[in-house]
Structure 1
Amino acid sequence: MDAFGDGNFEQPELDPAAEFLAREQNALAGLEDEIPPLPTGAGDDDVTQSKAEDGNDDFSGYTVPKQVTEEPERIRKWREEQKTRLEEKDREEERKKDELREQARKELEDWYKHHEEAISKTKAANRESAKNAEKQFVAETDEIEPGTEWERIAKLCDFNPKTNKSSKDISRMRSIILQLKQNPISASKKV
């Protein structure tokens, strides 16, 4: 270590935070003298007292004046005109909303009226067709002749293969019913 000179490399450690605070205090030391303290008035509207939020009263003697800036006449006029335009637009929007609500209410009433009429017509048509179907069924039951049973069953079945694409495959049942319709099994053949 003698080659480097002294051999004592120990220097006192400086706290960087303490060094920063000392430097800032030196820089800000003269500012307090430049700003004259303002007199505090009890009812003065132009000044307000400021107090730190944490309860620190370091600045309790200082007052901060409110910024009182006069708006230019053009900006004041523009703000007033903008306010009136916005109020007019709000009134127009409310009027249009009311019109739309009234129109929607009328359309809904009309829809319910037409819907009820359609339902009542459908109910009447269903009742009528059910009565006719019942009358036809009763008339056909009176005319039961031996050997026509499979023909009556074939009338009740839908044999169109295109109508029931999503249902199960009933082609075998269809062919058996058609075969029985054409060649019915009589009671004498069963025994």
Structure 2
Amino acid sequence: MDGFGDNFDQADVDPAAEFLAREKDQLAGLGDDVIPAASESNASDDAPANSAAPVVREEPEKIKKWREEQQKRLEEKDKEEEKKKLELREQAKKELEDWYKHHEEAIGKTKASNRESAKNAEKQFVAETAEIEPGTEWERIAKLCDFNPKSSKSSRDVSRMRSIILQLKQTPLTSNA
């Protein structure tokens, strides 16, 4: 296979290892000044006192003061908010109690009114039944019927029945038996 220029019989040389070795030789002097980020924490614990330690920057006094004031303002706002919440809850509770009170009064008035109107209607009905005269039966029936065709809510046509009742009211049948 020498005819193709490939000589696989030579000692195996790794091109990647060769490249890394060359680069390491060229960059050998640069690595002493820079501490890799991953090894900073390890270097500060194990390194002698003369190595460079990471510098911890303190916050300026104005920023500390602002943070403290901001914290106080937030705490005051939280207290005010809680206070307002309690006030709103008390107000809502009072309004709800008032509403229930007025609602119960309205229901009581409505019940009393309905009872009174029912009593009056019953008295009127009893009074009218006592005054039954012969020949007025159809007038009484006509009073109980609704003769307005527009207000009829039924789906059936009751116009014939309405006309018959009106006719009987105007000319009642006399039974001469």
Amino acid at match of 1:155: K
CA distance in 2, matches of 1:25, 1:188: 141
Tell me the TM-score normalised to structure 2 length. Answer: 0.65
1:185 alignment partner in structure 2:
173
Q: Shift of residue 24 of structure 1? A: 8.8
* DSSP-derived class of the 1:92 partner: helix
Unaligned runs of 5+ in 2: 7-14, 48-52
Q: Cα 1:23–1:67, aligned 2, differ >3 Å: closer, same or farther?
A: farther
Identity of aligned residues (%): 67
Q: Which runs of 4+ in 1 moved over 4 A?
A: 22-34, 161-164
Is residue 97 of structure 2 the alignment partner of residue 109 of structure 1? yes
CA distance in 1, matches of 2:87, 2:175: 77
Q: Cα 1:73–1:144, aligned 2, differ >3 Å: closer, same or farther?
A: same
Q: Cα 1:82–1:130, aligned 2, differ >3 Å: closer, same or farther?
A: same
Q: Shift of residue 93 of structure 1? A: 1.2
Q: Cα 1:146–1:77, aligned 2, differ >3 Å: closer, same or farther?
A: same
* DSSP-derived class of the 2:173 partner: coil
Q: Cα 1:167–1:95, aligned 2, differ >3 Å: closer, same or farther?
A: farther
Tell me the TM-score normalised to structure 1 length. Answer: 0.60
2:108 alignment partner in structure 1:
120
Q: Shift of residue 143 of structure 1? A: 1.5
Q: Which aligned pairs between 1:1-191 and structure 2 lie closer than 5 A? A: 34-35=34-35, 37-40=43-46, 68-161=56-149, 163=151, 168=155, 172=159, 173-188=161-176
Amino acid at match of 1:95: K
CA distance in 2, matches of 1:24, 1:174: 114
Task: Report 1 or 2 for greater relative contact order, CA contacts < 8 Å, sequence distance ≥ 6.
Answer: 2
Q: State how many pairs are aligned.
A: 151
Q: Shift of residue 27 of structure 1? A: 7.0
**Most deviating of 91-100 and 152-161:** 152-161
Deviations 1:34-83 (A, max 9, x none): 43733349xxxxxxxxxxxxxxxxxxxxxxx8874311222211111111
Deviations 1:126-150 (A, max 9, x none): 1111111111111111112222222
Q: Cα 1:69–1:153, aligned 2, differ >3 Å: closer, same or farther?
A: farther
1:50 alignment partner in structure 2:
none
Q: Considering only CA atoms, is the larger Rg found in Structure 1 or Structure 2?
A: 2
CA distance in 2, matches of 1:160, 1:83: 76
Amino acid at match of 2:113: A
